[in-house]
């Protein structure tokens, strides 16, 4: 199956945000002129395991406000505030297939109230809502210790996880990694994702939820699913092999870095193994 070059779902831990599945072609939205990080900032990012070949500073908008962040390779967002407090990690010598971060959802936090946002300006489209419902059904069907309780509305303050339309062009979105034992809260879905249909929206949102509960990209070391050969780096969050999953970064998974227009949105057998191993 021909895979569309869409940057896939990425990461956030302790504030790490990754903008994912953005089109790499002419339809990609124009970016504002970015600032240049200092040598000291680049050194810190490098010591965290971040690939610093292409790092700028930009203003990143979220539902709860706009914050300044480092944009790494046009894909990974790292908050500028508090950079000096983030942990420095050594890169892993070897890599396998299904990966997780060093942070997971724990204890009572494994019951997750997830909100599909319907408020003016950032409401999910009908296709996005269907994709979200199907993705949540997939997670609840596995029979792990995670329990997602889905509602649609506007009270995002009370929710553990919020899925909303960020009105950006192109397919994809952005999500985050767990912190303090809690799932990451914000999942942005690009407006253009709606045009891909229910199954692809199910795939994209299911992938983003995967990041929010601790999954890295299956092919983080190569991004081969995007037709690239680029290591995403540790990004300060770890990339830990999940026992029992395949060793190839080319095996099909909902957590591949890029997706195709023919995705069915369903978990593979190794995805299910990985979920049951962690939860």
Q: Which tens digit of pLDDT belongs to each residue from 180-210?
A: 899 989 899 999 999 999 999 999 999 999 9
Give the confidence band of 35 by pLDDT, cuts at 50, 70, 90: confident
Domain boundaries, the chain: 17-25+93-278
The answer to which of 9-13, 15-19, 77-81, 223-227 has the lowest mean pLDDT is 9-13
For residue 151, what are the β-bridge partners? 115
Q: What are the E-state strand segments in 147-191?
A: 147-153, 161-165, 173-176, 186-189
Residue 246's pLDDT is 62
Give the confidence band of 250 by pLDDT, cuts at 50, 70, 90: low
Instruction: Write the pLDDT tens digit of every residue in 125-164.
Output: 999 999 999 999 999 999 999 999 999 999 999 999 999 9
Residue 177's pLDDT is 80
Residue 102's pLDDT is 56
Cα separation, 114 vs 185, whole angstroms: 9
User: C-alpha distances in angstroms, 271 versus 107, 132, 165, 246?
Assistant: 22, 18, 26, 10
pTM (2 d.p.): 0.71
- The architecture (CATH level 2) of 17-25+93-278 comes to 3-Layer(aba) Sandwich (3.40)
């Amino acid at each position: 199956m021909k895979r569309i070059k869409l940057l896939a779902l990425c990461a956030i831990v302790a504030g790490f945000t990754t903008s994912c599945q953005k089109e790499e072609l002419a339809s990609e939205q124009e970016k504002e002129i970015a600032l240049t990080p200092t040598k000291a900032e680049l050194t810190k990012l490098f010591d965290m395991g971040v690939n610093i070949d292409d790092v700028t500073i930009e203003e990143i908008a979220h539902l709860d406000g706009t914050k300044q962040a480092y944009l790494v390779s046009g894909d990974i967002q790292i908050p500028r505030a508090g950079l000096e407090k983030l942990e420095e990690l050594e890169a892993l010598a070897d890599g396998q297939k299904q990966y997780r971060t060093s942070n997971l959802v724990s204890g009572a936090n494994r019951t997750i109230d997830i909100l599909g946002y319907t408020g003016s300006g950032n409401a999910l489209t009908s296709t996005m809502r269907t994709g979200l419902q199907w993705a949540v059904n997939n997670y609840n069907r596995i029979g792990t210790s995670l329990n997602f309780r889905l509602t649609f509305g506007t009270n995002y303050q009370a929710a553990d996880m919020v899925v909303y339309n960020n009105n950006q062009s192109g397919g994809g979105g952005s999500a985050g990694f767990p912190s303090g034992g809690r799932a990451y809260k914000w999942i942005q879905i690009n407006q253009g994702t709606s045009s891909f249909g229910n199954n692809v929206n199910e795939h994209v949102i299911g992938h983003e939820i995967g990041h929010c509960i601790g999954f890295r990209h299956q092919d983080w070391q190569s991004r081969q699913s995007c037709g690239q050969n680029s290591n995403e780096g540790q990004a300060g969050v770890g990339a830990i092999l999940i026992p029992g999953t395949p060793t190839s970064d080319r095996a099909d998974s909902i957590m591949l870095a890029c997706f195709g227009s023919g995705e069915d949105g369903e978990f593979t057998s190794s995805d299910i193994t990985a979920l049951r191993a962690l939860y």
